[in-house]
Amino acid sequence: MKKILLSATLLMFGATAFAQDLPTNPEPGKCYVRCKTPEVWKNEDVTIEVAPAYKKIVTHPAEYNTVTERVLIKEAGQRLVVVPAVWEDKTITYTAKVDANKLSVVPATFSQDSQTIETKAASANWEMSEKAPDCESSDPNDCRYWCYKPVPAKYVTIPLTKLDRDASTVSNQVPGYEKTYTTKVMVKGPTTTSIEIPAVYGSINKTVLVKDAWQEEITVAAKYKTVTKEILVNKGGLTTWKEVECELVNNTILPINWNLGSATLTPAAKRIIDTRLLPVLKTGVSVALESHTDSRGTKENNQNLSERRAQAVTNYLISKGVNPSKLTGNGYGESKLTNRCADGVSCTEAQHRANRRTTFRVVNEK
């Protein structure tokens, strides 16, 4: 049996290998398929400054206290019994409030800018062409060719705030002012016996500077943002040979019980794919999927249904992290029945269910 499988595999390789060499040192009874090495990417975080650090100035006004001072209103003198003393008024000027400074803040000014960061470097992907319309082969890999198409780089633009002029202060002088009071002074004393007259005192209020205006500087920290970009570590696309189980190169049934007229994967169907097909794809090989229907319904509807079933399996595998380039899905409707249950033939539900099937096989990558 192994010899028959090996012969079939070698015939398939001979039809599709074109100018490529076969595996070196193959073992008898083993089967091999061509694979493409995948691209290897890694994520790298880049931190950029989106807002600079700057200085913010807070000013505090000058502080004053009001003090009460005892002042002489009238000097002590003498009152004459016969001839009284002669008095006159005298104006005294004093500083009621001394000069001080007042600080005004000129705030920092900013402008808007931006910075463009490359988040993913330019690369390229292998893509398979559509099957040539005049191709007579039933093999989905025949009559196709590969194109190595470039994938442009990706960029993201980050808005930035730039400091044009930092905060500063302007000092303006607040002038003080003076006040006056009037006192009486003796111009001429008495000429006869005098009586002592005591001095008269009063109170005045003065505003004195306790602490001049002062400023406090507060540093506002810069703001940063981290952007993740993808970096290509190893470039893929090299052809390698991989050993596979020989039975996998032929169509293998995925025992999915498709409901009649449905292309929805049930939880049980997903578990079957997880255990039967995902482990094969994780080895790096490519797989061709085929879906079929029973004969009930029109040929057009069955063709569409089978294509949707193949697409449902393909989409589920992609959601599990499988590279789409590793998958080929086709629907064949009711064109490849496994039994006699064609249109007009009475069959049991179990016989019809046998035709509602999905298969897979490992294929070469060209």
Residues 6+ away with beta carbon under 8 Å from 60: 213, 214, 215, 216
CB 253 within 8 A of CB 359: yes
**C-alpha to C-alpha distance for 168 and 57, rounded to whole angstroms:** 7
Higher pLDDT, 302 or 46: 302
pLDDT (0 to 100) of residue 317: 93
Radius of gyration of the chain from its Cα atoms, rounded to whole angstroms: 50
More confident residue, 342 or 6: 342
Over residues 194-237, the pLDDT tens digits come to 788 888 888 888 888 888 887 888 888 888 888 776 665 555 45
Which span out of 42-46, 137-141, 341-345 was modeled with the highest average pLDDT? Answer: 341-345
Residue 323 dihedral angles phi and psi, to the nearest 5°: -65, 125
What's the mean pLDDT in 133-152?
A: 74
Give SS3 for 269: helix
Kindly report the CATH class assigned to 245-365: alpha beta
- State the Cα–Cα distance between residues 55 and 218, nearest whole angstrom: 6
- Of 332, 326, 277, the C-alpha closest to 309 is 332
Please, is 80 exposed, middle or buried when counting C-beta atoms within 10 Å of its C-beta (0-12, 13-18, 19+)?
A: middle
Domain ranges of the chain: 39-53+109-161+221-236, 54-107+166-212, 245-365
Give the helix ranges, DSSP H, for the chain: 2-16, 267-276, 278-281, 299-319, 349-355
How confident is the model at residue 305, as a pLDDT? Answer: 94
pLDDT tens digits for range 30-68 = 575 656 555 555 567 778 877 888 888 988 898 888 888
pLDDT band at 145 (very low <50, low <70, confident <90, very high): low
Does residue 144 surpass a pLDDT of 60?
A: yes
Q: Where residue 12 falls among pLDDT bands split at 50, 70, 90? A: very low
Mean pLDDT, the chain, whole residue set: 79
Query: Does the pLDDT value for residue 93 go beyond 80?
Result: yes
Query: Per residue in 146-171, pLDDT tens?
Result: 677 788 888 888 888 888 888 888 88
